[in-house]
Amino acid sequence: MSGDTAVGQVFNLPVHQGQVANLPHAKPTRTRREFVREACCGFSGLALASLLHDEQLRAASSNPLAAKRPHLPAKAKSIIFLFMAGGPSHVETFDPKPLLNKLNGQRRPEEFGEAKYQFVHEDARLLGTKRTFRKYGESGIEVSDLFPHTATCIDDIAVLRSCHGDSVVHSAAQYELFSGRVVPGFPSMGSWLLYGLGAESQSLPSYVVMPDPKGALEAGQPMYAHGILPAVYQPTMFRPGDRPVLNLDLPKHVTAQQRRRTLQFLRSLNESTLDPADEEFSARINAYDVAFRMQTEAPEVFDLSREPQETLDLYGIGSEPTNDYGRRCLFARKLVENGVRFTCVVSGGGPGNMQWDAHGDIEENHLRKAAETDRPVAGLLKDLKRRGLLDSTLVLWGGEFGRSPDAQSPTGGRDHHNLGFSMWMAGGGIRGGQAVGATDAIGLKAVEKPCHFRDIHTTILHQLGLDQHQLTYPHLGRDERLTFLEGRVIEEIV
């Protein structure tokens, strides 16, 4: 089955299974077949045989990744999260604050209230920005000179200027951004989506993370992981280069021809020694078929050599400093095209200054990080749009927090800041060309229509047709969900 067929199937087929929330979460290994045998021990062999045949037919739908119908009508079917790790400054990007410049070098006036910081001390001074803002598009939303390319897409973008979270340290804030909890161990957005909707692609992993090859992030891999959900909902971490998926390549000592033969042999032994009517075993045999298909079909998706030069240019591929992020953004488009549910493209990794974590010098850091990402991000939005994919793909941009209006260092750095910052969404039914919510006059606190991470999660789920209260998984006596506490759909943008 090609990727395209799979997509078509998912969207044309009616119900595969019931409401997600009512699905049995942990399928006991004891199969219905055993039950049937026990219950019908007095029946004739014929009746049993026909029941077993029926079971055999059902085996296909026992796949936990089978596409599932959403709870509500869906507007989007995929998410691309452009994760600006380390925390980009809101006052340098999407949230102009003229008063901050006026108060540059002064103590923060008391009326703005208090803030807890990781590094900034009480005697800190406010830090104005050197960036200039300009109105873009028909909507006239102001964007700073860091993002001249992204700004040209502003009419497709809904800027959220009043985001806030609960932690001011990286690891906990990153966990909350991904999983709704400030502690590790809970499923990330991508795992929840996969659990709620199943997979579309038969030849690609459905939840992909493309880390920045420059290094790690504070919260580490548990941030992206499936946590309490079964391993089937885990992310696939892409490696740098043309062969991003671990184990997709054959070991060096084997040829593809040989391995095909080995698989045939394996299948024949499995079928001759074990009852193929057994649901569990059929699922496993099926997993090998899909694995083989991934092995042959996925590499085509990762091959960028057949992309036209114009497309490569659009993403800034082949020139610096955009080549790396551009390549990964183009991968993201190709993954979406092939039915991948959730793709996270990380900008930033390794020591803080290699992320958006501009403690030392906001100018140097943000000019560099913006230059790496601005063109690729705009390229991705434009490419999705012209291919008609933007309608069904929700693009989310942002970090685990913003940056402090207060200066951290004499060289003009800013500390972490979780009380008010900007993120944006585009596509996937989001109404662009508007800025929602506001921070106070110096960008310290979200004061108008505050938007917590859980509200962002709720909105994402909503666009994908999932209800935060129905998408649950039992764990230690609680029906856990992505939003932890109740989130709200950001009505202004949907």
Partner 1 sequence: MTVLCLVVMSSLVLRAEDADGVRFFREKIEPVLKAQCYSCHSRQADELQGGLRLDFKAAVLRGGDNGPAVVAGKSGESLLIQAIRHEGDLVMPPKKPKLTDKTIADFVKWVEMGAPDPRDREPTDADDSKFEKARKHWAFQPIRRMGTLARPAVLSDEGTGKSAHPTDKRTLIRRVTFDLIGLPPTPEEVEAFVGDESAEAYEKVVDRLLASRHFGEKAAQQWLDVVRFAESEGYEYDRHIPGAWRYRDYVIDSFNKDKPFDRFLVEQIAGDEIEPENRECLTASIFHRLGPVRRNAGNTDIALSRNEVLTERTDILGSAILGLTVGCARCHNHKLEPILQKDYYRLQAYLAATEEHNIVLATSDEQAAWEIETKKGKDEIARVQKQAKDATDAAEKDRLAQLVEELEDRLPAPLPTIPSTHNDFAKRTAIHVLKRGVWENKGEPVQPRPLSVLTADQVAELSPGETQPRSQLAKWLTSPNHPLTARVIANRIWQQHFGVGLVKTANDFGLKGEKPSDPELLDWLAATLIDNGWRLKPLHRLMVLSEAYRGSRGEGRGASGDQNKATVLPSVSPLTPHPSPLLRRLSAEEIRDAMLAVSGRLNPKAGGPSVIVPVDPELVDLLYKPSQWAITADVTEHDRRSVYLIAKRNLRLPFFENLDAPALQTSCARRESSTHPPQALELLNGTLANDLALAFARRLKRECSSDHEKTIDRAFRLALGRAPTANELQRSSEFLHEQPLGEFTLALFNLNEFLYVR
Among residues 248 and 494, whose Cβ is nearest to partner 1?
Answer: 248
DSSP, res 160: E
Q: Does the protein bind partner 1 through residue 26 (CB under 8 A)?
A: yes
Pick the closest to residue 154 from 378, 336, 367, 436 (CA basis): 378
Instruction: Kindly state the smallest distance separating residue 288's Cβ from partner 1, in Å.
Output: 5
Choose, by CB under 8 A, the member of 28, 73, 105, 388 that binds partner 1. Answer: 28
Nearer to partner 1, 15 or 26 (CB): 26
Print the binding letters for residues 396-435 with partner 1: x by CB under 8 A, - otherwise. ---------------x------------------------
**For partner 1, which is the closer residue by CB, 1 or 287?**
287
E-assigned strand segments in 66-124:
78-84
Number of residues that bind partner 1 (CB under 8 A): 92
Helices (H), 153-211: 170-179, 189-197
> Which alpha helices (DSSP H) does 42-157 contain, by range?
45-58, 98-102, 148-151
Reduced DSSP (H G I as helix, E B as strand, rest coil) percent helix, strand, coil of the chain, to 5: 40, 15, 45
Q: Is 477 in the site for partner 1 (CB under 8 A)?
A: yes
Q: How far is the CB of 339 from partner 1 (least distance, A)?
A: 14
By the rule CB under 8 A, 240 interacts with partner 1? yes
Per-position DSSP letters for 413-468, written without gaps between them: EEEEE-SSEEEEEESTT---SEEE-EE-TTS-SEEES-EEHHHHHHHHHHHTT--T
C-beta closer to partner 1: residue 167 or 373? 167
Measured from the CB atom, the residue of 99 and 290 that comes closer to partner 1 is 290
Nearer residue to partner 1 within complex by CB, 360 or 450? 360
> Is 246 near partner 1 (CB under 8 A)?
yes
Cα 59 to Cα 49: distance, rounded to the nearest angstrom: 15
Give the position of tokens 């992320």.
Answer: 355
Across 26-170, the runs of DSSP E, i.e. the strands, are 78-84, 133-136, 141-144, 157-164
Is the CB of 163 or the CB of 294 nearer to partner 1? Answer: 294
CB of 439 to partner 1, least distance (A): 22
Sites for partner 1 among residues 55-114 (CB under 8 A): 64-65
Q: Which stretch binds partner 1 (CB under 8 A): 157-165, 242-250, 308-316, 430-438?
A: 242-250
Q: CA angle, 72 as apex, 71 and 74 as ends, to 5°? A: 115
Q: Which of 54, 114, 249, 300 binds partner 1 (CB under 8 A)?
A: 249
Residue with Cβ nearer partner 1 (136 or 473): 473
Q: For 396-410, b where at least 16 C-beta lie within 10 A, e where not — what string?
A: bbbbbbbbbbbbbbe
| Residues numbered 260-289 forming contacts with partner 1, rule: CB under 8 A | 261-263, 265-266, 268-270, 272-275, 278, 280-281, 283-285, 287-288
Q: What is the rounded distance in angstroms from the CA atom of residue 246 to the CA atom of residue 88? A: 31
**Distance separating alpha carbons of residues 425 and 431, to the nearest angstrom:** 9
Map the footprint of partner 1 across residues 151-210, applying CB under 8 A.
169-172, 183-185, 205
Label residues 229-251 b or e (16+ Cβ within 10 Å = b): beeebbbbbbeeeeebbeebeee
> Considering the rule CB under 8 A, would residue 306 count as an interface residue with partner 1?
no
Name the minimum Å distance from CB 229 to partner 1: 8
Shortest reach from residue 53's CB to partner 1, in Å: 17
- CA-based R_g, the chain, Å: 25
H or E element that contains 480: strand 478-481
119 binds partner 1 (CB under 8 A): yes
According to DSSP, residue 206 is labeled: S
By CB under 8 A, what part of segment 204-233 binds partner 1? 205, 211, 213, 215-222, 225-228, 230-232
Q: Does 304 bind partner 1 (CB under 8 A)?
A: no
Binding mask 126-145 for partner 1 (x = CB under 8 A): --------------------
Toward partner 1, which CB reaches closer, 197 or 294?
294
Considering beta carbons, is residue 259 or 449 the nearer one to partner 1? Answer: 259
